[in-house]
Amino acid sequence: MGMRGIHTSINDIRKKVFTEVAKLSYNYEEGSLADMENIPYRIIPGEVSTYRESVFLERAIVKERMRLAMGLPLRDVTEHAPVSRGAEECVHPEKYYQPPLINIIKFACHACPDNKVVITDQCQGCLAQPCRQVCPKDAISFTHGRASINQEKCIKCGKCMSVCQYGVILRMERPCAAACGMKAVKSDEYGRAEIDQEKCVSCGMCLANCPFGAIADKAQIFQCIQALRSDVPVYAAIAPAVVGQFGKELSIDKIRAAFRQLGFVDVVEVAIGADLCTLEEARDFLEEVPEKLPFMGTSCCPAWSVMAKREFPQYANCISMALTPMVLTGRLIKRDHPGCKVAFIGPCAAKKLEASRKSIRSDIDFVLTFEEVMGMFEAKEVDFTALATENMPFSASADGHGFSVSGGVAQAVANCIHELDPEREIKMEHAEGLVECRKMLMRAKAGRLNGYLLEGMACPGGCIGGAGTVQLIPKAAQEVERVKKEARFAHAYESGYQEVLGELEEK
DSSP 425-477: --EEEEEESHHHHHHHHHHHHTTTTTTEEEEEESSTTSGGGSTT--S-HHHHH
Residues paired with residue 506 on neighbouring β-strands, in sequence order: none
Give the integer Cα–Cα distance in Å for 19 and 13: 10
Give the integer Cα–Cα distance in Å for 487 and 401: 9
Half-sphere exposure of residue 204, counting CA atoms within 13 Å on the CB side?
26
Is residue 451 within 8 A of residue 332, CB to CB? The reply is no
Is residue 444 within 8 A of residue 452, CB to CB? The reply is yes
Q: φ and ψ at 347, to 5 degrees? A: -95, 5
Residue type, 257: A
Give the integer Cα–Cα distance in Å for 237 and 333: 9
Q: Which CATH architecture has domain 116-172?
A: 2-Layer Sandwich (3.30)
Left if phi > 0, otherwise alpha if psi is -120 to 50, otherwise beta: which for 430?
Answer: beta
- Angle between helix axes 434-445 and 302-311 (nearest 10 degrees) is 40
Give the integer Cα–Cα distance in Å for 336 and 365: 16
Mark 464-491 as b/e (b = at least 16 C-beta within 10 Å): bbbbbbbbbbeebbebbeebbeebebeb
Residue type, 228: L
- Element at 215 (helix H, strand E): strand 215-217
3-state class percentages of the chain: helix first, strand second, coil last, to nearest 5: 45, 10, 45
Number of H helices, E strands in the chain: 19, 15
- Angle between helix axes 408-420 and 271-288 (nearest 10 degrees) is 60
Q: What are the angstrom distances between the C-alpha of 149 and each of 30, 156, 170, 412?
A: 61, 10, 11, 52
Residue type, 400: G
Write out the residue limits of the CATH 3.40.950.10 domain(s) in the chain. 223-506
Domain topology for 223-506:
Fe-only Hydrogenase (Larger Subunit); Chain L, domain 3 (3.40.950)
Residue type, 116: K
Is residue 232 within 8 A of residue 32, CB to CB? The reply is no
How buried is residue 102: exposed, middle or buried, by Cβ count under 10 Å (0-12/13-18/19+)? buried
Give tens-digit pLDDT for 216-243: 999 999 999 999 999 999 999 999 999 9
Per-residue pLDDT of the chain (507 residues; tens, 9 = 90+): 567 778 889 999 999 999 999 999 999 998 789 899 999 999 999 999 988 989 999 999 999 999 999 999 999 989 999 999 989 887 787 777 788 999 999 999 999 998 899 999 999 999 999 999 999 999 999 999 899 999 999 999 999 999 999 999 999 999 999 999 999 999 999 999 999 999 999 999 999 999 999 999 999 999 999 999 999 999 999 999 999 899 889 988 999 999 999 999 999 999 999 999 999 999 999 999 999 999 999 999 999 999 999 999 999 999 999 999 999 999 999 999 999 999 999 999 999 999 999 888 899 999 999 999 999 999 999 999 999 998 776 689 999 999 999 999 999 999 999 999 999 999 999 999 999 999 999 999 999 999 999 999 999 999 999 999 989 999 999 999 999 998 889 999 998 777 788 888 876
Pairing of strands 116-119, 169-172: antiparallel
Helices (H), 118-270: 130-134, 159-163, 175-179, 205-209, 221-229, 255-262
Q: Residue 38: count other Cβ atoms within 10 Å of its Cβ.
A: 12
Write out the residue limits of the CATH 3.30.70.20 domain(s) in the chain. 116-172
> What is the structure's pLDDT at 40?
96
Give the integer Cα–Cα distance in Å for 438 and 461: 16
- Angle between helix axes 221-229 and 9-26 (nearest 10 degrees) is 30
Left if phi > 0, otherwise alpha if psi is -120 to 50, otherwise beta: which for 202?
Answer: left
Is residue 82 within 8 A of residue 76, CB to CB? The reply is no
Dihedral through CA 445, CA 451, CA 457, CA 463, nearest 10?
180
Among candidate residues 67, 2, 77, the one with its CA nearest the CA of residue 39: 67
Three-state DSSP string of 276-316 = HHHHHHHHHHHHHCCCCCCCEECCCCHHHHHHHHHHCHHHH
Among candidate residues 257, 239, 236, the one with its CA nearest the CA of residue 341: 236
- Measured between alpha carbons, how far apart are the two ends of the chain, in Å? 39
Is residue 199 within 8 A of residue 206, CB to CB? The reply is no
